[in-house]
Structure 1
């Protein structure tokens, strides 16, 4: 059986932490984790013609990803100022404009999306019309569209979220995003009712709701419900934990695993990443089995 593959679209950047800089960006984190979990992953983005841009492409290459769809332009490579609270939860100051605000539509990018099993994207990279127009052109070519809404103030509107939900097949939201998005439509039920409301409103094939350290649940198009309570670990920082969760879930989903098994595995991977520093630690099967057992 041939390897399943995904294309991730959006921001690549450096998270500038108190302890130093770490390569990041939610879609890039998903690509790196999916690649190490057994998918072929490609990243569509842009960097500047600068040292930080060289660093991003070198990092991706070192983790086994092709950089053929990483564009170079005249803007600086993306950086984010990150501060951590006492619980290791990050807050971000996302600099603009940067290279990934200007991802162009290319034949190379179109061809990558046309043959992929899934296109993964979020909302942040669409704060500029150039990247937004590129994403909406590319999504029309994709077989399966996976949206990690990933709302970051002030770079979203309810109108943008609505546009993205309309083209998505599977959506991942966290519990806070779920409550906020549903409130836009006057929907104020419990988490399950809210998730079903969004699933039905947008005719989704599935919706994933993450709850931080309390696990996640999934509802498919037939209202089949799967849930996992998560794994209790000592948190180092939570940067990239949700991205590794999504990469793990998609990997299992594309390979035909049942949602309950995909959730369990994804919760274990997300928990492991939270015990490490930064968004993209190397993950071994042994690491995940330790968490699951």
Structure 2
């Protein structure tokens, strides 16, 4: 064993990786970008070497050029999809929270609401979208409903699990102090459920863009999904890839916003994760 006084040995520092604070964190941010750059470079070289036609598989440079050339049209379609996502995500959050509170408050409500929540996911969205189009037309409403249906399930189920994950001893203590059902909910259950709720929100944020795109595929006059179908029909493959990339970027951005919100709302969670690291 190596003896040290007042400091860790070089061997211990190398094993723990804590001799340079933040080093691993910086590396974890750089590696994904390096991997992405390598994949794009391989894609560019592979298409050029094999002389693949651009209508079949454009190079990343062609996609970037098309994105710049069509930036006005892309921005207009992106705004439409983003509006559908934000409205649908907000409604799904409200309905999911209310449903979870109902499930946690009453066994009767749980037996009534929970099957409906599960049933909402048993129906294929791609099959439901045309029906919504017939009922509500080509406007904003059917796309928002599709987003709500996709986002609602993870929010409601995760928060319901969080509301039921409370330590029974904490509830018994509050009951012994004369707390009513609402006070127990406000003081113990809701704070305990926040990490679960934010986990559900992260999942919902990641899939919300998919819901909007599916709704636009079926019938729309604008939006990234509409642009994808039109570009595919006209063999504008570079524009199609550009729309796909922007859709992915929207989903990643929304996911990141929710993740950052979790760090702000629940700062102790970050400390717990750091403490669990070897």
TM-score w.r.t. length of structure 1:
0.21
Work out which of the two has the higher radius of gyration on C-alpha atoms and give 1 or 2. Answer: 2
TM-score w.r.t. length of structure 2:
0.22
- Larger helix fraction of residues: 2
